[in-house]
Amino acid sequence: MLDLTLAEMARGLTSGEFKSVDLVRGFLDRIQQRDADINSFITVTGDAALEQAEAADAARAKGNAGSLTGVPLALKDIFCTEGVLTTAASKMLANFVSPYNATVVEKLNSVGTISLGKTNMDEFAMGSSNENSFFGAVKNPWDHSLVPGGSSGGSAAAVAAGLVPAALGTDTGGSIRQPAAFCGITGLKPTYGRVSRYGIIAYASSLDQAGPFGRSAEDCALLLNAIAGHDGRDSTSVSRVVPDYTAELAQPLDGLKIGLPVEYFGDGLDAGVEQAVREAVKVYESLGAQVVDVSLPHTQLAVPAYYVIAPAEASSNLARYDGVRFGHRCDSPIDLEDLYKRSRGEGFGEEVKRRILMGTHTLSEGFYDAYYRKAQQVRRLIRQDFLDAFDKVDVLMGPAAPTPAFKLGEQADPVSMYLQDIYTIAINLAGIPGISVPAGFVDNRPVGLQILGPHFGESHLLNVAHVFQQHTDWHQRRPEQYQG
C-alpha cells in the first residue's frame, strides 16, 4: 500500500481497504530506515502525524471525511507551520519555531492531509542542486552521487524514494520542475497568484509560487484542488473561481496543437535529453496532436533578467534578518553595527550572501535604471513572447533542464549553475503555469518533459500530462534500491 500513488491511497482510504494510521506508521518507518542515505528531511513530525492519523480514521468512521482525509505528505521547509521548526534550510532560522500556519498549510489541514515533516532545500530557496543547505546536501535516490535538483530537492527526493506519496515545494525559477525532472516524478508550478504565498518564507515575491509534487499528474491535480484559491492575506493572490482540476483529466487530445520553441533545442541541450523529449512529443502526435515550431525570441535574456530581479527582491526580503527580532544572533556584539554584521555574516550561507550583494548593488543609486528597470522591461517582452505563442498553439513543450542530474560538487561555478535554469526561469518571469513529467532516461538518470500553458490553464496542462501518463510508464519507474 505504501507504493500506491496519492490518488490510489485516497481511494483506498475511502473504500476502507486500509487506515490512515497504517499508512503513516509505514511511511515513518521508511523515513527512519532510508532517509539517512538521501537527507531529504530536516524535521520529522512523527508523534503529531500519528495523532492526526488517528483523528482522520475516527472522522472516516463517523462519515465526516473528505477524499484526502488521512493522506500523508511532506512540506518543503519554507512553509510556516505552527509549532514546528521552520528553517528555510538556513542557520539564520535554525532555531525558529513558527507561531502560525501558512495559508497552504491551513488549506491542507482543512481537507485532512497529514504532514510527516519538513523537507530539506537550498537555503532560502536559492539554488538548483540542493547543495546550499545548512543541514547538508540532499542526494538523488536514483544515484547518491547525483544532485536531486533544487531548490525543492528534499521534497522531490522524498517522493522519488517512496518516503512520502506527495509533497509541496515552491518554484521561483524552476525549483519544482527541475527537481521533478531530475528525480523522475511529476511537479507542477501553478500560475502566479493561483496559490497563496502567505506564510511562505519569501525569496523573490513577484516570482515565488507554491505547487505540488506527486508520482502522477492526477496526484498534482488532487493537491492543487486543495491549495488553490484566493487569500485576502496575500495581496498578489488572484480572486478567481477554482475549478475541479480532476474533472478534465481524461479528455482526449484530438486536435491539440503543440508548439516546440526553437530556442529550447539549440546549443547546450544534452543530446540524450533532446531525444527523450522528442520521443515524448511523438507519443502526443500518435494521440492526434499537431506539432509546430514556434519562437520565443527573448529566451536568451531570461537568465540575466531573472538574476537581476530575483536578487533585488531577495535583498529587500532578507533585510529583516538582522539578529534583533528573531533568527540567529551573534554572541556578545560590541555595538549595533557589530550585531548586524556578524549575525548576518554568520547566519547566511555563501549563495545567499552572493545574491543579497547582487541585489543590493542593482537597487543602489546609479544602477537601478541601468539594471533593475531594464530587467523589468525585458520581463515584459518575455511575457509577450508567451502570449503571442499561445495565440497559435494550445501548449508548449520542451526539456525541463538542459542535462540530466549532475554530480554533487560538479557545478562549482555559480554562472554554470544559474544556466541550469535556462528552460524554467522565463516561465516564472511570465507568471504562466508549467509542469514537468517523467519522459525517459539518459544513463539511468531521469529526463523531464516540460509542458507550458497560458495563465490559469492548469486544468488543460494536467489533462495533457495525464493522458501522456496513460500511454507511457515513465512515471511508474522507481529507483531500484527504493522499491518495496
CA 387 to chain CA centroid, Å, is 24
CA 393 to chain CA centroid, Å, is 26
Q: Determine whether 175 is an active site residue.
A: yes
- Which of the residues 175, 237, 315, 436 is marked catalytic? 175
For the sheet with 210-214, list strands across it.
41-44, 114-119, 72-76, 166-170, 210-214, 186-189, 434-442, 445-452, 395-399, 257-261, 290-294
- Which of the residues 19, 20, 76, 90 is marked catalytic? 76
Rounded Cα distance, 199 and 99, in Å: 10
Q: What pairing do the DSSP bridges indicate for beta strands 290-294 and 434-442?
A: unpaired
Q: Determine whether 91 is an active site residue.
A: no
Rounded Cα distance, 163 and 159, in Å: 6
Residue located via cell numbers 524554467: 424
Cross-strand partners of 166: 214
Residue 305: HSE in the Cβ half-sphere, 13 Å Cα cutoff: 26
Q: Determine whether 76 is an active site residue.
A: yes
Rounded Cα distance, 145 and 132, in Å: 16
Q: Cβ(396)–Cβ(294) under 8 Å?
A: yes
Q: What pairing do the DSSP bridges indicate for beta strands 186-189 and 166-170?
A: unpaired
| Single-letter amino acid, residue 432 | I
Rounded Cα distance, 462 and 435, in Å: 8
- Which of the residues 115, 133, 151, 315 is marked catalytic? 151
Rounded Cα distance, 258 and 393, in Å: 6
Grid cell at residue 34: 532510508
Beta-strand (E) ranges in 215-269?
Answer: 257-261
| Single-letter amino acid, residue 193 | G
Residue-wise burial string across 292-324, b where 16 or more C-beta atoms lie within 10 A, e elsewhere: eebebebbebbbebbbbbbbbbbbbbbeebbbe
Cis before 205 (ω within 30): no
Residue 230: HSE in the Cβ half-sphere, 13 Å Cα cutoff: 6
- DSSP letters, 96-153, are -B-SS--HHHHHHHHTT-EEEEEE--SGGG--SSS---TT----BTTBTTB---SSSH
Grid cell at residue 17: 481497504
Beta-strand (E) ranges in 336-471?
Answer: 395-399, 434-442, 445-452
| Single-letter amino acid, residue 271 | A
Percentages helix, strand, coil for the chain (3-state, rounded to 5) are: 45, 15, 40
Which residues does the annotation mark as catalytic?
76, 151, 175
